[in-house]
């Protein structure tokens, strides 16, 4: 029998240690096969569990699992794992992590971590505004302009709403939610209302017949950056994003879209947030 050490961290924390999105990070996944990693993610039953592995391309390789499947990229697992990698490897405040979606640069100022997402791809959904409204339990008038499927590593449906009240009123309907299909066959929707400086958002995904809500979704924040790139090309963006209030895990995310003077057609999408280590433990297998 062997012991595997893990840490529990909260990512995109607001004020207080029990805020943000929880994550379990296994310090060394060497020797754990795919099935065991998946089973451990199901055992902890958090939105994601990660495993740190050696890499020849970056400071560490990271595998990310939900309780049901492996993900190529996700924001809060990237930042939370970076926090643990810095402590384990004493590698400073800027390095790279290898994901299935590619190599992701990360950096920190204190315990506020930032990742640079991959370039964005976008496509128009097949559903009309009326159909999207029905899926989200809203009125058609609540749906804003240019809903898009966006991917900066994982494709998600990004739906602008016309008010923060509409964001709070969203009630996805399980019987039709499955009609939303990403390129990898997953059903998920990120709704948001933009005030010009701040954003209120929620992220929905299915678990069996139920529709669940994520307290803080870094990949969706990156995809929101991709939405801005697609709908407002060339325009720099700085937003503070609130998420998680509806599930009593208030979270704060920071989004930047930057255009360099030498390459205005090549935007950088940056997603940041604060990380808190909550506890440590071991599992014997």
68 with 176, same domain? Answer: no
Residue tagged active-site, from 15, 27, 48, 213? 48
Q: Can you tell me the distance from the alpha carbon of 250 to that of 203, in angstroms, rounded to the nearest whole number?
A: 13
Q: What is the pLDDT of residue 263?
A: 59
Q: What is the pLDDT of residue 261?
A: 73
18 with 32, same domain? Answer: yes
134 with 259, same domain? Answer: yes
31 with 113, same domain? Answer: yes
Residues whose CB is less than 8 angstroms from the CB of residue 35 and which lie 6 or more positions away in sequence, other chains included: none
Active-site annotation holds for 145? no
- In the three-class reduction of DSSP (H, G, I as helix; E, B as strand; rest coil), residue 169 is classed as helix
Q: Can you tell me the distance from the alpha carbon of 74 to that of 2, in angstroms, rounded to the nearest whole number?
A: 29
Name the nearest CA neighbour of 256 among 270, 242, 243: 270
Q: What are phi and psi of 43, to 5 degrees?
A: -60, -45
141 with 260, same domain? Answer: yes
Q: Encode the chain (285 residues) as per-residue pLDDT tens digits.
A: 999 999 999 999 998 999 999 999 999 999 999 999 999 999 999 999 999 999 999 999 999 999 999 999 999 999 999 999 999 999 999 999 999 999 999 999 999 999 999 999 999 999 999 999 999 999 999 999 999 999 999 999 999 999 999 999 999 999 899 999 999 899 999 999 999 999 999 999 988 888 999 999 999 999 999 999 999 999 999 999 999 999 999 999 999 999 987 656 789 999 999 999 999 999 999
173 with 85, same domain? Answer: no
Distances, alpha carbon 219 to alpha carbons 90, 130, 203, in Å: 26, 26, 10
89 with 152, same domain? Answer: no
For residue 170, what is the domain's CATH number?
3.10.310.10
| The token pair that represents 200 in the structure block | 């209120």
Q: Taking the complete model, does pTM exceed 0.85, yes or no?
A: yes
How many separate domains does the chain show? 2
98 with 32, same domain? Answer: yes
104 with 125, same domain? Answer: no
262 with 126, same domain? Answer: yes
Q: What is the pLDDT of residue 260?
A: 81
131 with 114, same domain? Answer: no
Name the nearest CA neighbour of 212 among 174, 176, 242, 184: 174
Domain extent at residue 130: 121-266
74 with 27, same domain? Answer: yes
Residues whose CB is less than 8 angstroms from the CB of residue 12 and which lie 6 or more positions away in sequence, other chains included: 20, 21, 76, 79, 215, 216, 218, 243, 244, 251, 252, 253, 273, 274
């Amino acid at each position: 029998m062997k012991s595997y050490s893990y840490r529990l961290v909260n990512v995109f924390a607001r004020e207080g240690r029990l805020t943000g999105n929880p994550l379990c990070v296994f310090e060394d996944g060497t020797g754990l096969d795919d099935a065991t990693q998946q089973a451990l993610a199901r055992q902890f039953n958090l939105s994601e569990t990660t495993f740190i592995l050696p890499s020849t391309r970056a400071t560490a390789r990271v595998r990310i699992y939900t309780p049901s499947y492996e993900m190529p990229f996700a924001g809060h697992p990237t930042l939370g794992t970076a926090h643990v990698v810095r402590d384990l490897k004493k590698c400073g405040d800027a390095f790279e992590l290898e994901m299935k979606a590619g190599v992701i640069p990360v950096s920190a100022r204190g315990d506020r971590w930032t990742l640079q997402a991959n370039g964005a791809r976008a496509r128009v959904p097949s559903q009309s505004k009326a159909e999207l409204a029905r899926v989200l339990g809203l009125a058609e008038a609540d749906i804003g302009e240019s809903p898009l499927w966006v991917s900066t590593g994982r494709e998600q449906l990004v739906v602008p709403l016309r008010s923060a009240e509409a964001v709070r009123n969203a009630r996805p309907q399980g019987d039709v939610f499955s009609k939303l299909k990403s390129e990898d066959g997953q059903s998920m929707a990120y709704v948001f209302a933009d005030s010009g400086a701040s954003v209120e958002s929620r992220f929905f995904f299915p678990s069996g017949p139920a529709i669940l809500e994520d307290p803080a979704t870094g990949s969706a924040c990156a995809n929101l950056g991709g939405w801005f790139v697609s709908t407002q090309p060339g325009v720099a963006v700085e937003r503070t994003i609130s998420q998680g209030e509806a599930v009593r895990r208030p979270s704060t995310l920071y989004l930047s879209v930057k255009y360099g003077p030498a390459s205005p057609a090549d935007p950088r999408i940056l997603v940041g947030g604060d990380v808190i280590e909550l506890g440590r433990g071991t599992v014997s297998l």
